[in-house]
Amino acid sequence: MFNKKLAQTVENFAFTMLPLSEKELESKWIWKDHDEEGIRFAFFVTLQELRQLAVTLSTLRSKPTPAQHILSQYHAAHLDLQAVMFGVSPEDADKVFAKGEWNLKRVYTHIFGGDINFTAVVRYALEGHRANTWKPEQMSDEDADRLVNMTDEEYKQLINSPMENIFAFHRKFHQEIIDQFSSITEAELDLPSTFWEGTRFPIRHRLHRYEAHYTQHVIQFDKTLVAIGSPPNESKRLIRKIYAALAEVEGMMIGAEKMDDTVILDTASSIRERTKEIESLLG
């Protein structure tokens, strides 16, 4: 569904820009008539290109369904989390700044665990309603394992593995959520579902919970990074804006019928060439 070339190009741009100091961002770089802002201006050119691409894609597809719209909001939160974690070292991920506080790895795995639980709940509800066998009782542990294709033991092994393993699995799982739930109909959004609460919230609520849960804990990430002495530099703050723009572009792809990807590849090519130019200037 998403264009891997565009995502990889944006990630490469971010990797190039991340370590640059404010002084290095002032290094001379010229884009058309803009010759005074330095390399820093590459962020704003890239941001503009991605925002324009999102607008263009919006004209090439049918109107998103409510489920697809909700999933695009969730995807934006997911990419914001990736941007916040961008460049965080394994050492910083394991740092505990005060007794009783969570380190970054624990916060991340908690968010990931939320994705797993929310997904099991939605899959269980959809499975029951579509087969006309839904019951208000909470799913069994066996059903939960089946619906996410992972046992508790496998989950524990995963979250105790290196962060790159968790990142890779989470990205794949996130893609599965987007692919599967983008077909949920508007009528299905109002069907009840069961989790730990007494309230049988509709599926619509469950889909919105993804983003809300991310937002709650990304704020915790921000606070923790400051507490361990690793606040974001200017480049990191700007990378977060770039990822927000990428999220809007990819949000336009959710549930879209196959569209001509020429304009997407043109944007990727422009960003790739800009990255190469800056790498050359930096030596």
Same domain, 142 and 83: no
> What local confidence, expressed as pLDDT, does residue 260 receive?
82
Residue 76 lies in a domain: yes
Residue 163 lies in a domain: yes
d(CA 158, CA 89): 18
Residues spanned by the domain of 79: 1-88+232-283
Percentage of the chain exceeding pLDDT 90: 95
d(CA 155, CA 222): 26
- Maximum CA extent, the chain: 66
Of 4-8, 85-89, 129-133, 255-259, the poorest mean pLDDT is in: 255-259
Same domain, 129 and 213: yes
Q: How confident is the model at residue 258 (pLDDT cuts 50, 70, 90)?
A: confident
Same domain, 242 and 259: yes
Same domain, 225 and 128: yes
Residue 140 CB burial class (10 angstroms; 0-12, 13-18, ≥19): exposed
> What local confidence, expressed as pLDDT, does residue 139 receive?
95
Same domain, 84 and 110: no
Question: Comparing C-alpha atoms, which of 276, 277, 252, 279 is closest to residue 264?
Answer: 252
Domain count, the chain: 2
> What local confidence, expressed as pLDDT, does residue 186 receive?
97
Same domain, 52 and 142: no
Reply yes or no on whether the pLDDT at 1 is more than 90.
no
Task: Supply the mean pLDDT for the chain.
Answer: 95
Same domain, 161 and 249: no
Query: Where residue 281 sits, what CATH number does that domain have?
Result: 1.20.120
User: For the residues 154-172, what does the mean pLDDT come to?
Assistant: 94
Same domain, 54 and 145: no
> What local confidence, expressed as pLDDT, does residue 71 receive?
98
Residue 280 lies in a domain: yes
Question: Comparing C-alpha atoms, which of 243, 252, 211, 259 is closest to residue 68?
Answer: 252
Same domain, 18 and 48: yes
User: For the residues 185-204, what does the mean pLDDT come to?
Assistant: 96
Residue 245 lies in a domain: yes
Same domain, 118 and 206: yes
Reply yes or no on whether the pLDDT at 257 is more than 90.
no
Same domain, 199 and 111: yes
